[in-house]
């Protein structure tokens, strides 16, 4: 029954007790302590806490004792759930459940792995207690004064178990030695450093404000030590160890987890004191990263407690870089990620102190979508730069889009990015393909010139089509007969076409376009339409010499129709080529099916060609070649 368990996991607890524990625990009651479950027949359904979904995809079947998520395909029993939810190893999860339900755990052979972790955690727990005593002693007065100067209350200091370390070499190590701990264990736990002789040890943290880093079970995994005065470095963190990995820990989650579950939201900050100030002010769903940015390993931890993340990093260059790296870590996930931009030179604690908690909540409520922040931050500075510069800047964020290639929002993300970087979709997709293949063609002059020609040609054709329509509105029904919004390659042109091509739409005066709700509510589209109107008005002043005539309109329309025709022709030809191996297989059935498919494709291609010739003739296409360009 328990064949999925590792032998060393079973070694510390008898397997018959594990079977009995699983049988005694009501699975819906256990999971119901974490998420809301709704009974559906013989099972319960709830929102899965493991992948940041918003739909009830987690199925809990109490009579069979198992759970399964139809979204992320996670499954298992009570122990599996607790292990993942609380980030525990197997033995710890069994003990956690047993304590929760008041079931005594029988003793058995010890598990070396679990015993080792317990020893290191015990050392850090004892160190934490020691640091708290130091803070409460007469030696702790300068640290208390500092905390008061930063506005921290006694309640906050106690809640975060803040302490202080003696400015000496061996106060802590001597204390831990008396507690019975070995030198190497203190080094491995991260509170001591080995001496040059390889035998002696000394305290890692000396004369620092000590902020313990706890997991969600309130076990001490490590410390952050803040220097007093001008000492450098300002912060020293515990080193990586068997119990402390920065990529898997979030500071303050032990205190924030309830608020995160209640709100469904986690606010991510950079510094310990930012989180503490926020918690003290009543904004209690805040955590901090253990380095300069988030990592992919943090995502499952976050997803257990919240479906939405707001990044509130410092408003400086370092904060922007950290936000960017964190956005890349979120790429491809189902979490709803937002960014709260802060004024230059400020951090969350500054905002809370100067503006108050309510104002900070308002700012958090106005946080922008993560991808919007990413595209705006890197796209706006180059919007009016050369095509080469625009593509170069886009390539820096292209991996974010590539991560969503099989996601439903992929097309929407591409449109947003193309607008932000002022690129058409052909150029954007070419750049993504290059990045995905590990090469960036823009660096090579020939490739750059080719892509530049594609961009200029396609964008100019679509732009002139709209300008010619604004100048000749009576031809709108004719244009709608031949092309659709999705035929436009430039995202803003697609959006504008959706307005123009909607049923019953009548193209009025150019100035009237700005008053249309669909345009007025879309900031990017509104700005673009204003530019088109200004260009149209400027041309109209030229009288008989003005551009954007009916001939221009027909030329552009034919260009787009031909573009669609060639794309469809290539698709049909590709399908014919794909059927050729079956034609040559010698298998009668495969040959006959291939013949039938090729025949149908041939008919479709002929019909496509006939339709194109007819439309081309109507638009005067026999006089226009594909290679012609519109001259400025």
Record the tokens describing residue 149, joined without a space. 């100067």
Please, what's the b/e burial string for 441-467 (b: 16 or more CB within 10 A of its CB; e: otherwise)? bbeeeeebeebbeebeebbbbbbbbbb
Record the tokens describing residue 576, joined without a space. 């014919």
When pLDDT is averaged across residues 148-174 and rounded to a whole number, the result is: 96
**Each residue's pLDDT tens digit, 330-356:** 998 888 999 999 988 889 999 998 999
| Mean pLDDT score across all residues of the chain | 85
Separation CA 348–CA 361 (nearest Å)? 11
Q: Residues 6 or more apart from 588 whose CB is under 8 A from it?
A: none
Tell me how far CA of residue 482 lies from CA of 123, 563, 618, in angstroms.
Answer: 75, 12, 12
* pLDDT confidence bin for 456, thresholds 50/70/90: low
CATH, domain 112-244, list 3.40.50.720, 3.40.50.1010, 3.90.980.10, 3.10.580.10 = 3.90.980.10
Separation CA 311–CA 367 (nearest Å)? 9
When pLDDT is averaged across residues 491-497 and rounded to a whole number, the result is: 89
CATH architecture group of domain 248-366: 3-Layer(aba) Sandwich (3.40)
* pLDDT confidence bin for 10, thresholds 50/70/90: very low
CATH of domain 7-100: 3.90.580.10
Peptide bond into 57 cis (omega under 30): no
When pLDDT is averaged across residues 62-72 and rounded to a whole number, the result is: 84
Residue 131, pLDDT score: 98
Of all residues in the chain, the percent with pLDDT exceeding 90 is: 35
User: Which helix (H) or strand (E) segment is 300 a member of?
Assistant: helix 298-303
Cβ–Cβ under 8 Å, residues 555 and 624:
yes
Separation CA 264–CA 54 (nearest Å)? 10
In the predicted structure, residue 327 carries a pLDDT above the cut 80:
yes
Separation CA 577–CA 575 (nearest Å)? 5
Lowest mean pLDDT among 38-42, 304-308, 624-628: 624-628
Does pTM top 0.85 for this prediction?
no
When pLDDT is averaged across residues 302-321 and rounded to a whole number, the result is: 89
Lowest mean pLDDT among 362-376, 444-458, 484-498: 444-458
In the predicted structure, residue 572 carries a pLDDT above the cut 70:
yes
Lowest mean pLDDT among 40-54, 171-185, 418-432: 40-54
When pLDDT is averaged across residues 486-497 and rounded to a whole number, the result is: 88
In the predicted structure, residue 612 carries a pLDDT above the cut 50:
yes
Residue spans of the domains in the chain: they are 7-100, 112-244, 248-366, 550-623
When pLDDT is averaged across residues 150-158 and rounded to a whole number, the result is: 95
When pLDDT is averaged across residues 457-462 and rounded to a whole number, the result is: 76
């Amino acid at each position: 029954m328990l064949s999925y368990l590792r032998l060393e996991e079973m070694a510390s607890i008898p397997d018959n007790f594990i079977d009995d524990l699983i049988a005694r625990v009501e699975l819906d009651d256990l999971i119901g302590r974490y998420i809301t479950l709704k009974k559906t027949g013989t099972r319960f359904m709830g929102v899965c806490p493991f992948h940041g979904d918003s739909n009830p995809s987690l199925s809990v079947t109490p009579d069979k004792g198992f759970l399964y998520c139809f979204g992320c395909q996670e499954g298992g029993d009570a122990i599996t759930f607790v292990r993942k939810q609380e980030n525990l190893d197997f033995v710890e999860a069994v003990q956690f459940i047993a304590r929760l339900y008041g079931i005594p755990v029988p003793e058995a052979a010890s598990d070396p792995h679990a015993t080792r972790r317990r020893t290191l955690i015990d050392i850090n727990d004892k160190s934490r207690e020691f640091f708290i005593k130091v803070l409460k002693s007469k030696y702790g007065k300068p640290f208390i004064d500092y905390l008061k100067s930063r506005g921290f209350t006694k309640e906050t200091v106690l809640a975060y178990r803040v302490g202080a370390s003696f400015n000496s070499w061996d106060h802590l190590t001597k204390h831990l030695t008396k507690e019975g701990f070995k030198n190497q264990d203190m080094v491995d736990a991260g509170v001591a450093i080995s001496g040059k002789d390889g035998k002696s040890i000394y305290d890692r943290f000396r004369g620092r404000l000590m902020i313990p880093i706890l997991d969600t079970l309130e076990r001490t995994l490590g410390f952050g030590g803040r220097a007093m005065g001008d000492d450098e470095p300002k912060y020293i963190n515990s080193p990586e160890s068997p119990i402390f990995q920065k990529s898997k820990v979030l500071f303050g989650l032990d205190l924030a987890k309830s608020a995160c579950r209640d709100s469904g939201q986690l606010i991510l900050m950079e510094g310990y004191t930012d989180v503490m100030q926020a918690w003290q002010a009543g904004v209690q769903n805040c955590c901090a990263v253990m380095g300069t940015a988030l990592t992919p390993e943090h995502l499952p931890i976050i997803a257990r407690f919240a479906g939405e993340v707001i990044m509130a990093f410092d408003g400086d260059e370092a904060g922007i870089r950290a936000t960017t790296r964190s956005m890349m870590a979120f790429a491809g996930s189902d979490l709803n990620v937002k960014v709260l931009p802060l004024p230059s030179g400020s951090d969350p604690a500054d905002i809370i102190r100067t503006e108050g908690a309510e104002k900070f909540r308002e700012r958090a409520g106005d946080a922008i979508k993560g991808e919007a922040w990413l595209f705006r931050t890197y796209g706006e500075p180059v919007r009016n730069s050369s095509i080469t510069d625009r593509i170069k800047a886009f390539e820096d964020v292209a991996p974010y889009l590539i991560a969503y290639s099989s996601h439903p929002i992929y097309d929407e993300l591409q449109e947003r990015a193309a607008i932000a970087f002022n690129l058409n979709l052909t150029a954007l997709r070419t750049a993504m393909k290059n990045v995905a293949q590990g090469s960036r063609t823009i660096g090579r002059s020939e490739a750059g010139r080719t892509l530049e020609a594609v961009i200029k040609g396609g964008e100019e054709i679509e732009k002139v089509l709209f300008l010619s329509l604004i100048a000749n509105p009576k031809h709108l029904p004719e244009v709608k007969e031949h092309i659709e919004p999705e035929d436009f390659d430039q995202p803003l042109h697609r959006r504008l076409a959706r307005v123009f091509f909607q049923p019953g739409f009548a193209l009025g005066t150019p100035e009237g376009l700005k008053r249309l709700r669909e345009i007025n509510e879309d900031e990017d589209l509104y700005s673009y339409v204003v530019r088109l109107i200004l260009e149209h008005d400027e041309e109209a002043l030229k009288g008989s010499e003005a551009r954007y005539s009916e001939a221009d309109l027909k030329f552009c329309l034919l260009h787009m129709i031909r573009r669609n025709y060639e794309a469809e022709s290539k698709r049909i030809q590709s399908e014919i080529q794909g059927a050729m191996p079956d034609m040559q297989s010698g298998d009668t059935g495969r040959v006959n099916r291939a013949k039938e498919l090729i025949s149908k494709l041939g008919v479709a291609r002929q019909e496509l060609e006939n339709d194109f010739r007819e439309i081309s003739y109507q638009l005067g296409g026999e006089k226009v070649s594909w290679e012609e360009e519109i001259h400025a």
